[in-house]
């Protein structure tokens, strides 16, 4: 690296005009150094000629814009320490500033850098040629991390409209492809939390209508796929539990007085095995039967159908794991009590662990947004 630095210094001393030359891709030497995250070369070039920080490449970007695009905070700090006002130069074509660019390329660390640097705060409420503030860009990206940072800034203009007369809430609402995702839900919750309650309620009602509209459009295909997968799993559980009922743990007694009876019939663990195995089989058979009835395309009916079958499948899954644990406990406890207890405990907690893992993304969103989480905007189909 030192050898490269020495070569660049010699070139600049011998041919200083090279500092302002451009490559075939339109990048200046400083822009190249920035894009390669080479802080040492950036320092050399800025020391040679601070005016290089103001030179745009052929695509209309300054070195500070390139740093924002790539999220290179140390290099951005070096540029503004030498040329503070270079941060306020806008893009040649789109009139976007560095904050617009950082958000458009989803660079949360660079956004935080701007928010923590008082001399750059004027970038926050500056618009581009279409009247979009950085907040509008973040809303379109549905990037909750960036939105949270922007909304935490006290001087943020929450209600500003762009050239299309859209505010940040409108921009989030326009992202219909993301409408049924937790990413969208969290973003909507964040931007709607800072607007008046009347607007918030109206936006929430509009979002629910759009979610229902999308659900109706896809209800047939989604239900067919769900029914196919669910019926397959239900049939598998029913088969397993039915077979387990006739291959009882420990087998059957050969004693003349108890001939044909299960050996462990009087054991509590065995009785728990029978109960859980029966619950699992009945629940899975009920699901398999309900899947046959899922032919209507009425949204309310199908929502209720999915809610019911999910509850029954959860019951069947939980009961199956409990049956497995109690069955092994029955035969293992007399010889290896510690192993029997371990198997039983693991089998009983497995359904709850699975539930937590499955709901983990939703749990994390709830933790981040707290009571403001809109569970009514999480689609059920």
Residues 6+ apart with CB under 8 A from 218: none
- Rounded Cα gap, residues 353 and 359, in angstroms: 10
Least confident of 243-257, 282-296, 321-335, 360-374: 243-257
| Distance in angstroms (rounded) separating the CA atoms of residues 60 and 42 | 19
For residue 106, the SS3 value is coil
Residue 259 pLDDT > 60:
no
Q: What one-character DSSP code corresponds to residue 82?
A: H
Among the residue ranges 201-205, 272-276, 311-315, the one predicted with the least confidence is 201-205
What pLDDT, on the 0 to 100 scale, is given for residue 375? 66
Which residue has better confidence, 226 or 77? Answer: 77
Q: What is the pLDDT of residue 10?
A: 77
Single pTM value for the model: 0.78
Q: Is the pLDDT of residue 1 over 70?
A: no
Q: Which residue has the tokens 């979610």?
A: 211
**133 pLDDT tier (thresholds 50, 70, 90):** very high
How does pLDDT run across 32-63, given as a tens digit for each residue?
899 999 999 999 889 888 988 998 888 889 99
Lowest mean pLDDT among 71-80, 125-134, 224-233, 361-370: 361-370
Query: Which pLDDT score, from 0 to 100, does residue 194 have?
Result: 82
Q: What is the CA radius of gyration of the chain?
A: 32
Instruction: Work out the percent of the chain whose per-residue pLDDT is above 90.
Output: 46
Mean pLDDT of 97-119: 96
For 244, half-sphere exposure in the C-beta direction (CA atoms, 13 angstrom radius) is 27
Mean pLDDT of the chain: 86
Interval 183-193: pLDDT, tens:
888 888 888 88
Of residues 58 and 250, the one with the higher pLDDT is 58
Percent of the chain with pLDDT over 70: 88
Q: What is the DSSP letter of 261?
A: S
Domain boundaries, the chain: 2-211, 216-377
How far apart, in whole angstroms, are the C-alpha atoms of residue 283 and residue 174?
Answer: 42
By CB neighbour count within 10 A (0-12 exposed, 13-18 middle, 19+ buried), where does 275 fall? middle
**Structure tokens, 20:** 């302002």
Instruction: For residue range 142-169, list pLDDT tens digits in order.
Output: 999 999 999 999 889 888 999 999 989 8
Q: pLDDT tens for residues 84-106?
A: 999 999 998 889 999 999 999 99
pLDDT of 67 above 90? yes
- Beta strand segments in 82-208, E: none
Q: Does domain 2-211 have CATH number 1.10.4160.10?
A: no
């Amino acid at each position: 690296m030192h050898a490269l630095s020495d070569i660049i210094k010699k070139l600049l001393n011998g041919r200083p005009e090279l500092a302002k030359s451009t490559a075939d891709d339109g990048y200046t030497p400083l822009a190249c150094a920035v894009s390669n995250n080479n802080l040492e070369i950036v320092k050399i070039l800025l020391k040679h000629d601070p005016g290089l920080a103001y030179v745009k490449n052929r695509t209309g970007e300054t070195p500070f814009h390139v740093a924002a695009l790539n999220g290179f905070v140390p290099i951005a700090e070096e540029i503004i320490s030498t040329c503070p006002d270079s941060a306020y130069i806008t893009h040649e074509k789109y009139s976007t500033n560095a904050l617009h660019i950082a958000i458009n390329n989803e660079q949360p660390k660079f956004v935080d850098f701007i928010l923590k640097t008082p001399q750059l705060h004027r970038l926050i409420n500056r618009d581009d040629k279409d009247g979009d503030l950085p907040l509008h860009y973040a809303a379109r990206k549905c990037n909750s991390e960036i939105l949270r940072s922007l909304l935490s800034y006290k001087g943020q203009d929450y209600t500003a409209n762009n050239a299309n007369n859209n505010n940040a809430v409108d921009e989030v609402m326009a992202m219909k492809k993301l409408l049924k995702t937790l990413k969208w839900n969290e973003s909507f919750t964040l931007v709607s939390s800072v607007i008046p309650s009347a607007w918030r309620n109206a936006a929430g009602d509009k979002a629910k209508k759009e979610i229902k509209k999308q659900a109706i459009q896809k209800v047939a295909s989604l239900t067919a796929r769900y029914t196919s997968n669910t019926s397959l799993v239900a049939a598998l559980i029913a088969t397993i539990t039915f077979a387990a009922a006739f291959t009882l743990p420990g087998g059957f007694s050969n004693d003349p007085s108890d001939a044909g009876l299960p050996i462990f019939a009087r054991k509590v663990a065995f009785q728990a095995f029978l109960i859980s195995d029966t619950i699992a089989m009945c629940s899975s058979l009920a699901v398999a039967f309900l899947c046959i009835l899922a032919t209507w395309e009425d949204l309310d009916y199908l929502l209720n159908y999915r809610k019911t079958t999910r509850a029954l499948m959860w019951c069947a899954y939980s009961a199956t794991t409990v049956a497995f644990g109690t069955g092994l406990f029955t035969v293992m406890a007399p010889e290896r009590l510690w192993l029997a207890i371990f198997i039983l405990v693991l089998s009983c907690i497995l359904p709850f662990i699975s539930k937590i893992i499955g709901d983990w993304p939703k749990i994390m969103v709830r933790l981040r947004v707290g009571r403001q989480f809109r569970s009514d905007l999480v689609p059920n189909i």
